[in-house]
């Protein structure tokens, strides 16, 4: 169950989402780090919600996450339609930056796992240049396949990070964390999707004015047309599912 007050959560198509601002999310994460117990953070967007409708293990992970951040402008619109508006939006990119700043200030150590070979190392360099003093416990591409988990556990356990960022894409990254947190017991583990690619400039980040209008999906469709199936699920199919659920 979420560690936050259940009264501050909303539910969209059966998936709980913590109704908080970016600052409140960071405050909660700081609490997680201070107490040292293992926690899992998920950054929920419409694709997550739609995937969870047909993927029971993934749905269980989302429901049991310690913090379910409201990522994705579609969630903001859906929450308004459901007459239970979200108080803010907490994206994976923004949360990664805030985490890195907090870690640099407090001396916490980050481990970056996933993405293509070499990308995690470059993302770590960008974060260290942006946040002087940030300690990187390790970087590794690896694979989300279960047969590789014993080896990855050894690497991460030896590095002893305070924060583990996993970039295998949903639902694989979130399922990976749920399977391995009982062994790793990292204070904060978060799936971060394509954040490493954004940090390194491999994938273009939508300009601020486009993000403010909630048109990131259109920007991604134009700049990455191969994502059209994902955009189809995240935009029209998600909207249709929310509308039908409230009829």
- What domains lie within the chain, and their CATH numbers? 6-199 (3.40.50), 208-245 (no CATH)
Q: What is the mean pLDDT of residues 58-63?
A: 98
Q: Torsion-angle region of residue 11: left (phi > 0), alpha (psi -120 to 50) or beta?
A: beta
How confident is the model over 116-172, as pLDDT tens digits?
A: 999 999 999 999 999 999 999 999 999 999 999 999 999 999 999 999 999 999 999
Helix-helix angle 238-245:73-81, to 10 degrees:
20
Q: What are phi and psi of 12, to 5 degrees?
A: -125, 115
Lowest average pLDDT, out of 20-29, 182-191, 201-210, goes to 201-210
Pick the closest to residue 99 from 172, 27, 166 (CA basis): 27
Q: What span, in angstroms and rounded, lies between the C-alpha atoms of 243 and 13?
A: 10
CB of 233 closer than 8 Å to CB of 46: yes
**Average pLDDT across the chain, whole number:** 89
Q: What span, in angstroms and rounded, lies between the C-alpha atoms of 146 and 164?
A: 18
Please give the residue that has the higher pLDDT: either 200 or 227. 200
Helices (H) and strands (E) in the chain, counts: 13, 8
Pick the closest to residue 216 from 71, 75, 73, 81 (CA basis): 73
Query: At which residue do the structure tokens 């014993």 appear?
Result: 150
pTM for the complete prediction? 0.89
- Is the model's pLDDT at 218 over the cut of 70? no
Q: Torsion-angle region of residue 72: left (phi > 0), alpha (psi -120 to 50) or beta?
A: left
Alpha helices in 107-194 (DSSP H): 119-130, 149-159, 172-184
């Amino acid at each position: 169950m979420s560690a936050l007050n259940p009264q501050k959560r909303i539910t969209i198509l059966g998936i709980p989402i913590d109704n908080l601002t970016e600052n409140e999310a960071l405050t909660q994460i700081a609490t997680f780090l201070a107490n040292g117990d293992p926690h899992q953070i998920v950054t929920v967007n419409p694709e997550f919600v739609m995937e969870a409708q047909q993927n029971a293990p993934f749905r269980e992970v989302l429901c049991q996450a310690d913090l379910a951040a409201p990522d994705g402008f579609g969630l903001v619109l859906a929450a308004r339609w459901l007459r239970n508006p979200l108080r803010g939006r907490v994206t994976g990119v923004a949360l990664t930056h805030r985490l890195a700043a907090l870690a640099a200030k407090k001396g916490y150590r980050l481990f970056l796992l996933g993405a293509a070979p070499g990308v995690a190392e470059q993302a770590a360099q960008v974060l260290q240049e942006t946040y002087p003093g940030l300690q990187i416990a390790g970087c590794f591409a690896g694979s989300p396949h279960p047969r590789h988990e014993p080896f990855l556990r050894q690497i991460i356990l030896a590095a002893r990070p305070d924060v583990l960022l996993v970039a295998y894409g949903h639902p694989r990254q979130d399922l990976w964390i749920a399977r391995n947190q009982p062994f790793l017991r990292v204070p904060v583990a978060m799936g971060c999707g394509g954040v490493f690619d954004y940090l390194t400039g491999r994938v273009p980040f939508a300009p601020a004015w486009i993000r403010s209008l909630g048109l990131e999906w259109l920007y991604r469709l134009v700049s990455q047309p191969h994502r059209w199936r994902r955009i189809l699920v995240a935009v029209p199919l998600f909207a249709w599912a929310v509308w039908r659920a409230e009829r």
